Amino acid sequence: MFGGGVPPRPPNRPLLPPPAPSPPPRSRRNSQTPPLARRTLTTEELAWTVASAVAEGMARATQPNPAPVSVRTSRLKMTNPETFDGKPSTPFNTWWKSVTKYLSFYPETSDQQKIAWVGTLLTGTAKAWDLHRYDMLGENDSWVNYAADIRTEYHDPREVANAQLKLSQLKYSGDIRAYMTEFRALNNYARAAGEGLHEKIDLAMTDAVLDIRFAHYMGEFADDEGFLEATYQAALQVEKKRALKQAREQGKPTGSATRTEEKRRDERKKEER
């Protein structure tokens, strides 16, 4: 077939196919397992989800709104001030302060309402003054002018002198709270301050109160309030000590009680024998 010579050499081909090249090494980031893919809802599941959401929305829309909770609040009421008759013996300033305090509690009151209300508190010559003013001015009156004119008409300068006299006569009688309350009320008109106030307080206190105050509070006081507070605390200590002494005396048995107890003890001993 090939002639008489040596047959030609077959082509140099491998018997098996060469192995596939290995893939390049994965980086650290690519070596992580990819997250699982989300499951796709079926048509039936999607339809059921939409129907449930629609039904829930319709139920909310048809549900009646809850009734609002009403909070009942009661309005505070103040007692009316006393009446004023316009007599010189009736202190006007004290009465007028109670009037202005009452009105400050009702700031929405109009001018005409204030004037009419004050008129209901007036009697005697003060009522005649109010009616005459209404005949002259009527609805044209204002609260500012009314308040200024009634103060001018009935302000008594003797109230200051009377308050100063009463303040000088006021004495501490064992109840410092009652004393300080009356002192401050009178001093609203007397206007005592500084050395004058200190002198009135010192003359009104007992020696026991002054001894404690001088022992615990030395030097000058910064203001009148500091002086009043020091006197108040000293008097409280005196009152506490007096109350303690009385309690101890009441707790001690008297001589007759002691003899009665001894007699009962002797009788019990005789019975035991």
Residue 116 pLDDT more than 50? yes
Q: What is the pLDDT of residue 36?
A: 46
Q: Are residues 139 and 180 in the same domain?
A: no
Over residues 24-51, the pLDDT tens digits come to: 555 454 445 445 445 566 777 767 777 7
Alpha helices in the chain (DSSP H): 43-62, 92-104, 111-120, 124-137, 143-154, 158-169, 176-190, 195-204, 207-216, 224-251, 255-272
Over residues 132-189, the pLDDT tens digits come to: 999 999 999 999 999 999 999 998 778 888 888 999 999 999 999 999 999 998 898 8
Separation CA 84–CA 121 (nearest Å): 6
Separation CA 223–CA 102 (nearest Å): 31
Considering the entire predicted model, what is its pTM?
0.49
Q: What is the pLDDT of residue 219?
A: 82
Q: Is residue 62 very low, low, confident or very high in pLDDT (cuts 50, 70, 90)?
A: low
- Residue 3 in any domain: the answer is no
Nearest residue to 172 (alpha-carbon basis) of 161, 163, 181: 181
- Residue 222 in any domain: the answer is yes
Residue 13 pLDDT more than 60? no
Separation CA 182–CA 176 (nearest Å): 10
Number of domains in the chain: 2
From the centroid of its chain, how far is CA 47?
60
Q: Are residues 189 and 236 in the same domain?
A: yes
Q: Are residues 115 and 174 in the same domain?
A: no
DSSP-based three-state secondary structure for 122: strand
Residue 70 pLDDT more than 70? no
Domain limits for position 203:
159-250
Asked if 167 and 187 touch (Cβ cutoff 8 Å), the reply is yes
Over residues 88-103, the pLDDT tens digits come to: 888 898 899 899 999 9
Q: Are residues 130 and 190 in the same domain?
A: no
- Provide the 10 A C-beta neighbour count for residue 35: 6
- Residue 27 in any domain: the answer is no
DSSP-based three-state secondary structure for 141: coil
Residue that is written with structure tokens 């508190």 in the block: 121
Q: Are residues 165 and 96 in the same domain?
A: no
- Residue 113 in any domain: the answer is yes
